[in-house]
Structure formats: structure tokens, C-alpha cells
Structure 1
Amino acid sequence: MAGTVRPFYALVRDPKSPDGRIRSQEPEKNKYLIRYKDHLNRWRSEIFEGKRSSAENRLQQIQVVVGEILAKERPAPEAERRLVDAFDEYCNWLKGDGKKDSTIIRYQYSFSAFIKNGLRSSQVRDITVRDINNFRSKRESEVSKESLYIDLRHLRAFFNWCKRMRYLLESPMVNERFESQDKPIRFLTEDELVRLYQVLESDLEMKDLVKFYICTGARAAELLPPRFTWSNVYEDKIRLLTKRDKVRHVGLTQEMIEILESRKELLAPFPYKYPAVYRRIVMKAYKDAGIKGANIHSLRKTAGSRLVQKGVDIYRVSAFLGHSSVRVTEKHYAELLPSNYENLAEIIESGLPDTQKQYQFVPNQ
């Protein structure tokens, strides 16, 4: 039965391309790549840590299992996996892959909606295109088009993972394609902010956190442990760890300093976990304030929109929010400045000849 054990070469950063990856020149110590053919005659791979002799023993064990499946002495993996168990395993895999809690929670919402749709079977292998279409039809009447696409993208990623794990032979969403959606940014209006702060009078901990989210433009995890601790707080500013481990500093207002002073006995300025923050702000405070279609990230969008609407230069806004380039900022906020474009046109026009006057054309002699 075909199979190999080879030294494992990790992918490392390409010095010629910041976002690129190349294979390292040296193999990793005590790490091997096991390649084998499964019961469907498809090549599979597995990374093994340990001695080479142990990796070779592992290959032999896999080959024995494949042989038993072919001889029908053992059920195939895709024949015995419950949908909910597979999804729990998938969530654990997402955590191990470094996905944020907020991302995993959103996957869980999508999966829960799918389960509640009334599936004909609880086994991964039995999910069909018909189940996906039924879910799409029902979900269209419950959520926005963008939310539906998010649900479908999450389900597609899950079923693709199930295929890689050999829990099914083919994803029921293999032919799903999604249109690119340019959705308008969702920020809180002045009226919504007033209602939100009124509701948060009964939850002062979250009121302080919302204040910091808006005044710093921080992403959800950037103000929570382990990214944000007392070591990030200075006398008149704080240090935020952003995407790709970049750092940005934000100045503190007097009210923000007083909030931090009142919390100095705590283990961290905001010692909460994201799921609890999401429940208290989005699921309770937003709901009680009548705020729809917003999440915690909307507070960051609110910070950016307020700066832009108050006439702050787009380059300064981009630097404040820590965007990778000013193009990202323009994509999100340029539409908030139609009056500015009109004003600039007036400035240009003021130095031009009056087109309403009649000029006599004199050709060159």
C-alpha cells in the first residue's frame, strides 16, 4: 500500500515579499510528513512529531486502518460522524488555528441557524444540496442578504473542513458562489448613542468600555486581555496591539484617565472575555436601546465616521485607526463627505474664467 515518510519543511516568511511564504531550507527537528492513500485512493498527508521510527509506525497503523476499511471490516470515517460533534471539533480546530473568539461565535450563530432549519439527518454524510437550499430559502425571510451570505460562507468553510477530515466525500456547497458585497458602513447615530448611554446607566462597566471603544477606535479584542493589560497604559496615552502585531498609540482624555483610575484595583483595565462583552453590549444594551444591525465593531466605525464628519483629514483618520493604507479609510468613509467634494469644486471654480460671459475668440495670427 502506497505511503511515504519524509522530513517536514515549514513555510517561512519570504524576505523578498512581506506577505509571501517560502519553504525553509532546513527540515524541522523531529517532525515528519506522512503521505498515504486513503480508502478512496486519494493522497492524504499528516504531520507527525517524534522520532522517524515512530512516524513509520504511524504510517503502518494508517495503512492497516485503510486496509480494514477496504475489506469492510471497519466503517469509513464519512459514515459515522454526527453533525454537531463535527462542528464542535471544527470550533476547536478554529481556536487552535488562532481564530478570535468573536469569529468563532459568529460561526456558531450560523451553524445554530442551520441546525434549527429542520434537517432530515443528524449525520454529516447525509447533508445534501437540498438541505442548503432549504436553509437559504427560509433564512432569506429572516435576515438581510449580507447576513445570509455570511451564514453561507461559514457553512461552506465548515463543510470544506469536513471533506478534508474525510467526514464526507463531497461538500454539499461545492458549487456555491457568492457575490462581492459592498455594504455601507454601520456606525451609531447621535440619537442611537444617546439611547445607548441611557441604557448603559444600569451597566457602568460596559458603559466605560463603550466609551473607550469609541474614543480609541479599537477593535473588539484590542481592549481586552491578553492584548490589553495595565502594561499598555501610560500617563497620557495607551498602547494598542492591532492586526499583524502592529502597535498604535492613542491619547487619553481626562474622562478616560478618570475611568482608568477608578479601575486600577482590577487585574486589567477591562478584565472581560469577548463572549460576555458581546452579550452585554450587543445582545442586551443594543436591543434595549432599539439599535439594529450593529455589532461591537460598529463602535470603531462610529469613531472613524465622527472624525470624518467633523472635517478631520482622511490621512489623519487613517493613521488614528491604524489602517494598512489610506485606501482602506477612503473605501469606508469617503461617502460621508459629499459636501466636502462640492466645497473643493467651488474652490477650484473660483479661479476659473466666468463661463457665463461671452468671450470673443481671436485666432492666432
Structure 2
Amino acid sequence: MHTRRKREISVLFRLRYDQKNDTCLRPLKIRLTINGETASDYCSGIYIRPTQWDQKAQKVKGSGPLVTQANEKLAEVAAQHYEILRRLKERNHKGQGKRPTAQLVKQEFLRPGTTSPRLHQWFKTYLDYLDTLDGTEDGRSEKTVHRLYKAWEYVKQFDPSSSFLTDLTTGWGKRFHAWLQTHPDTGKRRMQKDSANKYLSHVRDAINHAIDEGYLTSNVLDKFRPKRGKNKEVYFMEANHIANLMKLSSDDPQFSAVLWWTRLMCFTGLDYVDAIRYARQPELYEYHTPYGVKIIINRTKPPRNLCEIPKLYQVNDLLAQHPTGPVDPNLADMNRHLKVIQPIIGFIGKTQDGRDWKLTTKILRKTAGPIFLRLGYSKDAVSKFLGHSSVRTTEEHYVKITSSFIDVEMERVARQQWLGNVPLRPIPVGNPYLSTPSL
């Protein structure tokens, strides 16, 4: 006895029950069934007179060019469904898409490309998803989101027709990476290699989101991991700059407030917004240990890493002046005043590409790393102080060996040779890390 094999796909056309006797043109609905699963009825895009429709034969009755055209259209729509199912099965077999269902075939018929989105369309879907995370622990910083939107714009410029997610290759990633660095028309340098790496990583993140949603099972761009460019030069305030900073004073209340916040950031490594949080209610973030007080605070900047910072005596002096901090200027005013402070303290120099140094709140945070290192704390400890996700960040972006650093090390080693294991004592030699300058 032979059992009848169930059909993989069934495409049936039907009219609404209350339209069967109408003489006006009415839309034919599609009832799609795939492997026993039936999708809700949807429009086929074909209009007929119900009195001419043969439901059992699945065709329009009669003769004439209009009838022939309608029946040909019916066969074409059915063939479209068969082809969509074939493509979805092929992609699923390659690990590049979801298992075909009646709902997916219906979706692809009504909105072509949605079951295998084009890259720029999916990138926007990914950005919309990130927008829903704004304000949560998983949210991205404003700067990162801005760069993601910029990456989306670059993708649209590089690939105007926009490739399907399933058609992306490693070669596409290499061409995009090269395009980011050099303008194809002018041959001029568009950006450095490390910047191109970041934009490529954002595209990789968007594709990973497609994997999370089941559209793909692997990321072809994972096979292309370009090497990093030359390490970016990172600059920060040296001991002499901070010594000069500590001597500054002003009768202008706002300028005095800027000096206060500048010093707090230098000696804590806190971002400006986190420095304000701490100063307003220091008792909420201070913990007493047998060896002194430490500041424990989560960074506002995602991923909101925890900072555990030894409270230096300079911070005590600052809070003695303003127990809850002075007025806090907005970030633009802070950086505007820092431009005035920069030449006064002698913070002058040029980057590797010839640009002048700029004293900003970000530089103040970076300055804390060398301060703690010169005081004898290890790189691992300083990484924890600053809330870095990895010690590698501390080593590559916040620490560089300078002549003043070497001078401090020579002094430390020389004194240990003379004094044996006697702990180092503060020496008033103008070094703000070892002496106690007045504010």
C-alpha cells in the first residue's frame, strides 16, 4: 500500500466568500501552505470578475485575450512562490538564512528582499535597535552611535545598489576597507587605517546582529581582520605642566571653577561628568580602607566600567575648598578656558602629523594615568583606577615613557640603593607627584 506523499508547497487562489456572485472586479487572495503550515490569506495582485472564476480548476473561465492574460498571470504568481521557496531553501542550506516557512515566503512575495535584507537596509534596522537601548546598561555612547551612523552613510556611498546580506564576501570587506582609506576619484587620503578598521568593525557588528536575528549563521567579514596601523601618539600633561597649573589663581569665579575641575580630573582620572557626580556627593562614592580612602564609581560612558581610585591628598585639598564642588561650566566653556590655560602652563607640542596639542578635558583624564604610575602603582592597578576594559588600553593609550618619567625612575632606584628597602619619602623638589603644592 502506497501512502500519498504530502506536497511541499500549495498555492491556492480564492475569493472572499461574500464576493463569489459579484460582477465587479475583485482581488484574488492567496492561501499558501508549506509543509503543512498555512499563512494567513493575502492579495495576489490579480483582479477578476467572480462570476468567471472556477475555484476547482483554479483558473478564469471564458475566452479572449483578457482571460488568457489573467490565467498567465496566475501561473506566473504561483511560479514566483515556487522560486522564492527554492531560493530560501538554498540559502538555508548554505547557512545564510532561516528555515523556509509559509510566512517567510509570503513576506518575500509581498516585500521582496525582506527575507534577505540588503546591507544598508539591515544596517538601518541595526541602528534602530541600538536606539531602543539608549539609556540602558547595554546602550552605546553618543559618540559611538554617531560613528555608527557615519559608517552607515559610508556603506551607502560605497555600495549604492546595496548588496544582499547573503551576497557579501570577504572581498567586499577588503574593497570597502581600501575605499575608506583612499578616495577612488581623487586618490587622496580619506582616513587613517585605524579609522577604516573601526568603520569596518561597525559593519561587522551589524552583520552579527543579523546572525542574532536568524538571517545568517556566519559573518564573512570575520575572515578579514586587517592589521592595526601605527600606534596613535597619545599626549598628556607632564609634571612641570601640573606644577604650573597648581600655581594658577584667578579672581574670575568661572575661571577659578575651571581650575578647580581641571585639578580634580587630573588627580582622579574621572571624566568631567563623573567628576561632577563625585564632587556633588563625595560621601556616596568614598570607601575607607586601612590604607586610605578610595573612590568607587561607575563611569557614565558605556560600557560603564567600575573605577576604584585612590583618593590623593590633592583631592582632599580641593574638597576642603569646595566640599560639594564649585559651579560646573558646560563642556564647551571648560574647553574654551582650557585653551587659555594651555600656553600659560607651557603645554606646547605637536602631534606626529604636525598638529598642535590641544588641552581638553580628555587630556586631563589621560594625565591621571602617568600620575598614578609615577607614584608607584602598577599598570594593572591604574587600569582599574581609570575603568579601562583591558590593561592593553592603559599600556597603549595612556602610558608613554618620557624623559621626566625616566628621571623619576632614576631617582627612585638611586634612593633605594642608598636607603635599602626604606620607603620613599616625599621630596620637595618641585615634582607635584611627590611634594605638596598649595592650591
Amino acid of the residue matched to residue 112 of structure 1? K
Residue 222 to residue 158, structure 1, CA distance change in 2 (3 Å):
farther
Q: CA shift at 1:222, angstroms? A: 3.8
- 2:131 corresponds in structure 1 to 92
Q: Is 1:313 the counterpart of 2:376 in the alignment?
A: yes
Conserved? CA contact 1:222–1:240, under 8 Å: no
- 1:177 is displaced (CA, Å) by 0.8
Distance in 2, matches of 1:239 and 1:137, equals 46
Q: Which stretches in structure 2 are left out of the alignment for 5+ residues?
A: 1-33, 36-87, 299-303, 343-354, 419-439
- Confirm or deny that 1:213 pairs with 2:265: yes
In structure 2, what residue type is equivalent to 1:91? L
Q: Choose which of 163, 168, 178 in structure 1 pairs with 2:226.
A: 178
Alpha-carbon offset, residue 158 of structure 1: 3.0
Equivalent pair of 1:78/1:167 in contact (CA under 8 Å): yes
2:373 is equivalent to residue 302 of structure 1: no
Q: 1:105 Cα shift?
A: 1.4
Select the structure of larger CA radius of gyration.
2
Question: Which residue type is aligned with residue 368 of structure 2?
Answer: A
1:123 Cα shift? 5.2
Q: What does 1:53-92 align with in structure 2 at a 5 Å threshold?
A: 63-69=101-107, 72-75=109-112, 76-79=114-117, 82=121, 85-92=124-131
Task: Provide the C-alpha distance between the structure 1 equivalents of 2:333 and 2:151, rounded to a whole number of angstroms.
Answer: 21
Paired position in structure 2 for 1:156: 204
- Counterpart of 1:338 in structure 2 is 406
Q: Is the 8 A contact 2:269 2:365 kept in 1?
A: yes
Q: 1:167 to 1:191 in 2, by over 3 A?
A: farther
**Aligned to 2:267, what secondary structure does the other structure show?**
helix
Residues 162, 124 of structure 1: alpha-carbon distance in 2 compared, 3 angstrom cutoff = farther
Is the counterpart of residue 105 in structure 1 residue 150 in structure 2? no
User: Contact 2:296/2:306 (CA < 8 Å) preserved in 1?
Assistant: no
Superposition pairs for residues 4-43 of structure 1, below 5 Å? Answer: 40-41=91-92
Distance change (3 Å), C-alpha of 1:211 and 1:94 = farther
Aligned position for 1:13: none
Whole-angstrom CA distance in 2 between matches of 1:262 and 1:219: 15
CA–CA separation in structure 1 for the residues paired with 2:337 and 2:365: 17
Give unpaired runs (5+ residues) of structure 1: 3-37, 47-58, 351-365
Pair 1:258-2:321 in alignment = yes
* Offset of residue 216 of structure 1: 1.1
Letter of the 1:186 counterpart: Y
Equivalent position of 2:28 in the other structure: none
What code does the residue aligned with 2:127 have? D
User: Is the 1:218–1:300 contact (alpha carbons within 8 Å) kept by the matching residues of 2?
Assistant: yes
Question: Which secondary structure state, in structure 2, belongs to the residue aligned with residue 41 of structure 1?
Answer: helix
Distance across 2 between alignment mates of 1:125 and 1:202: 55
Q: How many Å separate the matches in 1 of 2:131 and 2:391?
A: 35
1:136 has 2:193 as partner: no
How much does 1:178 deviate? 3.2
Distance 1:315 1:116 in 2: 41
SS class of match (2:311): strand
1:187 deviation in Å?
Answer: 1.7
Q: Percent identity, aligned pairs only? A: 11
